[in-house]
Structure formats: structure tokens, C-alpha cells
Amino acid sequence: MKAPTYKLRNGAEMPAIGLGTFGSDKYTAEEIANAVYGAVKYGYRFIDCAEVYGNEREIGGALGRLFADGVVKREELFVTSKVWNDHHGCVAEACERSLDALGLSYLDLYFIHWPFPNYHAPGCDGDARNPDSKPFSADEFISTYRQCEELCRRGLIKAIGISNMTVSKLEATLPRMEIMPSALEMELHPAHQQPELFRYALEHGIRPIGFCPLGSPSRPERDRTSEDIAAMQMEEIVKIADAHGVHPACVCLKWSVQSGAAPIPFSVKEAQYKSNLDCVCSDPLTEDEMETIRRADKNCRLVKGQVFLWEGAEDWRELWK
């Protein structure tokens, strides 16, 4: 099974669906690496990684086995990673660590994971706060972005990605960039469609990549609130799934790809990651079904980022201004 692709501004072809590798604190690095091996063997060609996920060394081992076994060549894969918040001042070192862990000589796309250097300890409680956290600064962001541009010039990365941005943050930074970003990772599912940000990205040649495309049912407890809406349980999604004879997860992924995004669902379960790939390659949603989902948007953000708040911030919404 082969997924459709999008052509990025640098001419690279990016598969329209990838495998996420954030285990949501529930799965071991070895389990995730085994899923990467199995998913690529089945047909996935896009693997989304990050140093902060704590599993790049194991994923690198899986990639090495895939290359050694003749399953795939490096140039046939699209591999991404991300610089974490506390490494904004030393991006090259972070990138080189990821390359070493993954056993690669270059990354197809390298993201600034969050647009500020606010740091929290891995696995911390949702109410945890770092006294050094501060609001977004365009100057600080561009300083980090300049380091990514240099990595591009050195050939260590093929393209730059941005993540967890807003339209106002993009308006403040895009005019100052020398190498334009190729992709934007954003929370994207039927209950949180972010249409303004989505349109803005596409209008500026930036391809949206959707994390939490299924409504992130396995996200950490610290990211859950009583007001959250589960995308796969939305009445509209369930009805469309019944009409197609598929799981609601398939409807979420079909909607994402047909909207023009590249979802990156995570699963270590073979049946699930196979189904996720299969469903975007056949039986598309109708125009009426796409319109029904568009109208069903709940504006329900699941990854709120409250652990990155600074002293004096009223609530997590201040992160998204």
C-alpha cells in the first residue's frame, strides 16, 4: 500500500500520512521501534520523530534493520525530528544528536517543536510550572530559526518545519525568515480544525501536518480535561463511519488527507497502523460528508500546553494568541 504524496516547496515529495512516534508515556521505546519496523515494512514512508520522545536511538535501530534487510532505502523514507524547547540556543547540537541516534546523515524535515524555550521536565504533572518560562518572543524565535537555516545550508536537514504556531506568531516571523518553512505541525482533528491557521499555512506554501488526528485517545493524563471532546465519538463522525462500514478513526484520517493535511497517527498495534494507511488510499469521503465534518468543528484543543505557562499568565489560552 502506497500513500499519496504532497510536493513541498523544496521539491521533496512528502507522504500524505505518517507514523507518529510519541508513545504518550504508555509504550516503551522498544515497542515503538518495533511498530516503526512493521509500519515501514507494510508501506509507510513517513516517520515523525522528536528527541524529547526519548526513543530515537531505538527507532534508529529499527531503521538500520530496515535498510540492512533491503525493505527500503534511505532516500525512500521521509524522516523528521524536532528540537526541544531547552535546546533553542544550541540547535545544531540537538540536530546532530538526533541524526546520531537515528543513524542518519540528514533529516527530511526538522521542526522547532514549540515556538518558545519554556521547558518542563519529561512526564511532569500538568500543574507544573518553570519559573524561567516567559511569553513568546519573535526575536528569540528567529534566533532559533536562523540556526535551522544554517543546518539547511549545511545539508543536515532538507527543510525546516514549525510547530504549535498561531497566525499572529507567523505574521510576526515569516517576513524575517530567509529560508521559508515547508511544513507546520498543528493539532488537527474534526473537533479542532483550526481553519484560519490551516488556510494561512497553505496560502504561504506551508503544508499542514496534523498531530492528534484521531483526537489523541492515548494522550497523557496531564493533557486531559473534563471539557474535552473525543473526535471519534462525535455523532457526525460515527454516522459517516457507519455509512462507509469503517472505524471512526478512518473517517478522521480520510477527512484530514482530503482537507490537504498529512496526519501522523500513532499506534504500536499492527492492525491499527495498517488500517490507518489503508483507509486514506481508498473510498474517499463525499463532498457532502466533508462539509458535514467542517460544520461539526468544536474548536476543542486537546494539547493545551499549560506546562509552558509563565508567571502571571491567566490560563493556557495565552499560549495560543
Beta-bridge partners for 186: 210
Rounded CA gap, 112 and 134, in Å? 17
- pLDDT for the residue 74: 98
- The predicted-structure confidence for 178-235, as pLDDT tens digits, reads as follows 999 999 999 999 999 999 999 999 999 999 999 999 986 665 666 667 678 889 999 9
- pLDDT for the residue 25: 76
| Three-class HEC string of 47-101 | EECCHHHCCHHHHHHHHHHHHHCCCCCHHHCEEEEEECHHHCCCHHHHHHHHHHH
Is 6 a residue of the active site? no
- pLDDT for the residue 123: 65
Residues 51/97, Cβ–Cβ less than 8 Å: yes
**Domains in the chain with CATH codes:** 5-320 (3.20.20.100)
Rounded CA gap, 286 and 155, in Å? 42
- pLDDT for the residue 317: 93
- pLDDT for the residue 129: 72
- pLDDT for the residue 218: 60
- pLDDT for the residue 121: 66
Can you say whether residue 268 is alpha, beta or left, with left for phi > 0 and alpha for psi between -120 and 50 degrees?
alpha
Q: Based on the number of CB atoms within 10 Å of its own CB, is 303 exposed (0-12), middle (13-18) or buried (19 or more)? A: middle
Composition of the chain by helix, strand, coil, percent to 5: 45, 15, 45
- DSSP for 230-270 reads -GGG-HHHHHHHHHHTS-HHHHHHHHHHHHT-EE------H
Rounded CA gap, 255 and 239, in Å? 14
Q: Which of 86, 90, 102, 17 is CA-nearest to residue 52?
A: 86
**Which position among 6, 27, 53, 119 bears the catalytic label?**
53
Give the residues of the chain that fall short of pLDDT 70.
24, 121-128, 216-224, 226
